[in-house]
Amino acid sequence: MENQQQKHRAAELQRTYSVECEPKTPTKEQYDLARAEAMQALEHRDKQSTEMARAKELEDSNSVRDADNNTSGLKLHAYGK
């Protein structure tokens, strides 16, 4: 009899556990909050990407400008004259 009660209790626990572990449908409020957080994360990522791209463009632009400034002062000497 005790073995049967243990089996019954184990089956009851299994049912309770499986119901608790099933994914629950989020409420509209939870969905809206999760969506807002995701949108904010995307905007933050886009902002960082834009800032990094601008910094890279500025760095490249400064490198080209420095190269132009360094070569514009070169004097070419004519050899053999």
Break the chain into its structural domains and give their ranges.
Answer: 24-61
* Better pLDDT: 68 or 39: 39
- With tokens 């499986």, the residue in question is 18
Q: What percent of the chain has pLDDT over 90?
A: 31
Instruction: Tokens for 45, please give them.
Output: 């990522």
Q: Which pLDDT tens digit goes with each residue over 21-53?
A: 666 788 999 999 999 999 999 999 999 999 999
| pLDDT computed for residue 15 by the predictor | 63
Q: What pLDDT score was predicted for residue 80? A: 58
pLDDT (0 to 100) of residue 36: 96
Distance, CA of 19 to CA of 50 (rounded, Å): 46
Which pLDDT belongs to residue 76? 60
Q: Report the chain's terminal Cα–Cα distance, integer Å.
A: 119
Predicted local distance difference test score (pLDDT) of residue 1 = 64
